């Protein structure tokens, strides 16, 4: 069972719920993994502090020019939809950070002047916090495309009963790639005009991907009723509404897991667990 925690905007508490739920589930005896695919700004490791970590580099294939055979015809530039190749009068310039590794340029080149090589774009780390496996993707500074690394991180997760995916915020390609393989999606939102606007976009994204969606409302007592009314109108189940709790803010600021000091958060996590249990294949459960 793969459960993605996503949000239309940053700062809603997505990582708060993902890290606490994953660690709590692992502590109850479920084989669980936390996967941070917010690769441009991963921060789940700051709260879980995994040990016994190992790291591997992830590479993608990009073209390079064999200049001795290039005639400068420009067919590669005409084909590339991402502007990764520019054919000038006496040279061809390649921009590997824009390349989507489709190999189309190689297919249309009449001289066979292009070949592929490996290019590193980021790292994948794996460690443990007690019984919880912790995976983190970190995109190299300056890289324009996060999706290949996100897919690489998700593919690296070893088989386990419950996978908690901490997705990047928003509705970009990165967010879509993060929830695409999930069985369930929990949208973490906040009751503000910005929260409502971006929640609607996130719901539309998940529905386009055919995902089963529920919501958690964080800091539920500090805003208006717009988010509540929208979720009810759209028939989206609200699993929990967590009011502002200073102990949660203090624990988060200190890089600690907050559920042990907040009954409101613990109750919210239990509601999410119950929803996951109902959706799990027969014979699987989270221990009480």
60-120 has the same fold as 2-31+161-279? no
Looking at residue 98, its pLDDT comes to 93
Assess whether pLDDT exceeds 60 at residue 283: no
Domain map of the chain by residue range? 2-31+161-279, 60-120
The tokens describing 247, both together, are 């102990």
Burial class (CB in 10 A: 0-12, 13-18, 19+), 89: exposed
**CATH no., domain 60-120:** 3.30.70.20
- Summarised one tens digit per residue, pLDDT across range 100-118 is 999 999 999 998 999 999 9
Looking at residue 131, its pLDDT comes to 94
Instruction: Give Cα separations from 70 to 41, 91, 104 (angstroms).
Output: 40, 9, 16
- Summarised one tens digit per residue, pLDDT across range 48-76 is 999 999 999 999 999 998 877 788 899 99
Looking at residue 99, its pLDDT comes to 94
Inter-residue contact 276 to 1 (CB < 8 Å): yes
Stronger pLDDT, 186 or 282, i.e. the higher one:
186
Q: Provide the mean pLDDT of the chain.
A: 93
Mean pLDDT across 277-288: 63
Looking at residue 284, its pLDDT comes to 52
Mean pLDDT across 228-242: 96
Residue among 49, 53, 46, 44 at smallest CA distance from 19: 44
Looking at residue 66, its pLDDT comes to 83
Assess whether pLDDT exceeds 90 at residue 198: yes
Tell whether domain 2-31+161-279 is in CATH 3.40.50.300.
yes
- What does the alpha-carbon distance between residue 263 and residue 13 come to, in Å, rounded to a whole number? 16
Concatenating the DSSP letter of every residue in 93-135 gives EE-GGG-----HHHHH-TT--EEEEEEEEEEEEEEEETTEEEE
Record the pTM.
0.92
């Amino acid at each position: 069972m793969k459960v993605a925690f996503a949000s239309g905007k940053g700062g809603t508490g997505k990582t708060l719920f993902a890290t606490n739920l994953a660690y709590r589930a692992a502590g109850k005896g479920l084989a669980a993994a936390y996967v941070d695919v917010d690769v441009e700004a991963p921060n789940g490791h700051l709260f879980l502090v995994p040990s016994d970590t190992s790291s591997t580099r992830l590479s993608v294939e990009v073209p390079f020019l064999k200049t001795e055979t290039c005639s400068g015809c420009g067919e590669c530039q005409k084909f590339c939809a991402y502007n990764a190749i520019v054919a000038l009068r006496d040279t061809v310039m390649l921009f590997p950070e824009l390349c989507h590794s489709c190999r189309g340029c190689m297919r249309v080149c009449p001289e066979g002047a292009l070949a592929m090589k490996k290019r590193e774009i980021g790292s994948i780390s794996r460690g443990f916090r007690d019984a919880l496996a912790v995976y983190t993707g970190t995109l190299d500074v300056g890289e324009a495309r996060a999706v290949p690394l996100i897919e690489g991180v998700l593919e690296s997760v070893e088989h386990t009963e419950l996978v908690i995916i901490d997705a990047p915020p928003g509705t970009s390609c990165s967010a879509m790639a993060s929830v695409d393989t999930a069985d369930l999606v929990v949208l973490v939102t906040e009751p503000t005009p910005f929260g409502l606007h971006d929640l609607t976009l996130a719901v539309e994204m998940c529905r386009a991907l055919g995902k089963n969606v529920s919501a958690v409302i964080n800091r539920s007592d500090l805003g208006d009723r717009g988010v509540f009314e929208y979720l009810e109108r759209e028939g989206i189940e609200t699993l929990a509404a967590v009011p502002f709790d200073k102990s949660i803010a203090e624990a988060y600021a200190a890089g600690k897991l907050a559920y042990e000091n907040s009954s409101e958060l613990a109750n919210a996590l239990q509601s999410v667990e119950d929803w996951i249990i109902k959706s799990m294949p027969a014979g699987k459960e989270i221990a009480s």
